Amino acid sequence: MIKMKDSNLFKIEKVKFKNILSIDDLEIKENKITCIVGPSGSGKSTLVKLLNKMISPDSGKIYYRGQDLDEINSINLRRKVLMANQSPAIYKGTVKDNLLIGLKFSEKPLASDETLEQILSDIKIKKSLNDQVENLSGGEKQRISLGRLLLMDGEVLILDEPSSALDQDTEAFVMDYILSYVRTKNKSLLVVTHSKKLVQDYADALIEIKEGRAIYE
Ligand SMILES: Nc1ncnc2c1ncn2[C@@H]1O[C@H](COP(=O)(O)OP(=O)(O)OP(=O)(O)O)[C@@H](O)[C@H]1O
Ligand SMILES: [Mg+2]
């Protein structure tokens, strides 16, 4: 059967992954801020990894803008659906290397130092581009991985606990910036979070994962 295109960003149908996740039917809408919540170990990270093909379901179907993920090349998908993992990937080298690496991997044009300096200030990092990242704090590394995604100008941002290592003030500053970026540039944001404040203040939609099953509000 030919699938009709629809306005969903993602649609999940009868997906199972090991004995960890079992989702019958879930739709994620375009241009929204969707928060994913639930207890530790419930399957939140597993769900978002399925959405950018870091892992594949054992059965069932996932559609991105109406197109079966099986038929989308992983590299092409990850140019549009950008994900910051729960443990940020940091590479040996400078702050600049680490900001640019996403653009390099996806073969997009690199950004100027001026743009990179601006990103550092947007994510509240007071380091210079030539500083080595290995000396950065956990929260700074987390923000560098966010800066890397902001530079890549994708269609969808998936952030897995992006502010877990940040104090409340820094979290508020960085999340305010990301949320206004998403709204003004008409992107879609999926964010896995334990922050009740983030959910209360910003979520357009809420997905709760409990023991591998989804409850959608
Ligand atoms: N590839 C895998 N093989 C086997 N078990 C896995 C795999 N990936 C995750 N798990 C298990 O599945 C469960 C859900 O993991 P997941 O990382 O999705 O949880 P989570 O909701 O993101 O939790 P947290 O809030 O702690 O990050 C956990 O018990 C985890 O150990
Ligand atoms: Mg997780």
Ligand 1 proximity of 54 Cβ (cutoff 6 Å): no
pLDDT tens digits along 17-49? 999 999 999 999 999 999 999 999 999 999 999
Out of 17, 19, 20, mutate this one to test ligand 1's pocket (max ligand atoms within 8 Å of CB): namely: 20
Contacts of range 163-171, beta carbons closer than 8 Å, 24 or more positions apart:
163/193, 163/195, 163/198, 164/86, 164/194, 165/137, 165/138, 165/139, 165/141, 166/139, 166/142, 167/139, 170/124, 170/139, 171/195
Residues with CB in 5 Å of ion ligand 2: 44-45, 86
Written as one letter, the residue type at 192 is: V
pLDDT tens digits along 163-191? 889 999 999 999 999 999 999 999 999 99
Residue 53 gets the label, from left (phi > 0), alpha (psi -120 to 50) or beta, of left
- Per DSSP, the residues of 79-143 read HHEEEE-SS----SSBHHHHHHHHHHHTTPPPPPHHHHHHHHHHTT----TTSBGGGS-HHHHHH
The residue nearest atom 12 of ligand 1, judged by CA position, is 20
- In this prediction the pTM is 0.94
Ligand 1 proximity of 46 Cβ (cutoff 6 Å): yes
| Gap from CA of 86 to ligand 2 centroid (Å) | 6
Ligand 1 atom, smallest distance to 212 CA: 14
Which pLDDT belongs to residue 1?
47
